[in-house]
Amino acid sequence: MSATRSPDGPPAYRWLCLDHVREFNAGYDYFSGMSADQIIAAQSPTAGWETESRTFRTAGSADLPPRWADFKDPIDALGARFRQRMDEARREAADPRFTREEHRAMQLMELSVDADRAMLRKRYSELVRRYHPDRNGGDRSHESRLNEVVAAYQLLRKTKAFA
* Domains of the chain as residue ranges with CATH: 2-43 (no CATH), 66-96 (no CATH), 99-163 (1.10.287.110)
Whole-number Å distance between alpha carbons of 2 and 26: 19
The pLDDT tens digits of the residues spanning 17-72 come to: 899 888 888 888 888 899 999 988 888 877 766 666 655 555 555 556 666 566 67
Whole-number Å distance between alpha carbons of 119 and 158: 15
Dmax (CA) for the chain in angstroms is: 89
Angle made by CA atoms 126, 130, 136, in degrees to the nearest 5: 150
- Residues 6 or more apart whose CB falls under 8 angstroms from that of 103 comprise 88, 91, 92, 95
Helices and strands, number each (H, E), in the chain: 6, 2
Higher pLDDT, 58 or 75: 75
Angle made by CA atoms 25, 31, 36, in degrees to the nearest 5: 145
What pLDDT is stored for residue 80 in this prediction?
81
**Average per-residue pLDDT for the chain:** 79
Residues 97-105 have a mean pLDDT of 84
CA dihedral 115, 119, 121, 125 (to 10 degrees): -120
Do the beta carbons of residue 10 and residue 2 sit within 8 Å? no
Whole-number Å distance between alpha carbons of 157 and 110: 15
What pLDDT is stored for residue 148 in this prediction?
94
Do the beta carbons of residue 2 and residue 14 sit within 8 Å? yes
Beta bridge partners of 14: 3
Do the beta carbons of residue 15 and residue 3 sit within 8 Å? yes
- Other C-beta atoms lying within 10 Å of the C-beta of residue 88: 14
**Residue 115 pLDDT exceeds 80:** yes
Higher pLDDT, 77 or 61: 77
Query: Could you give the percent of the chain with pLDDT greater than 70?
Result: 78
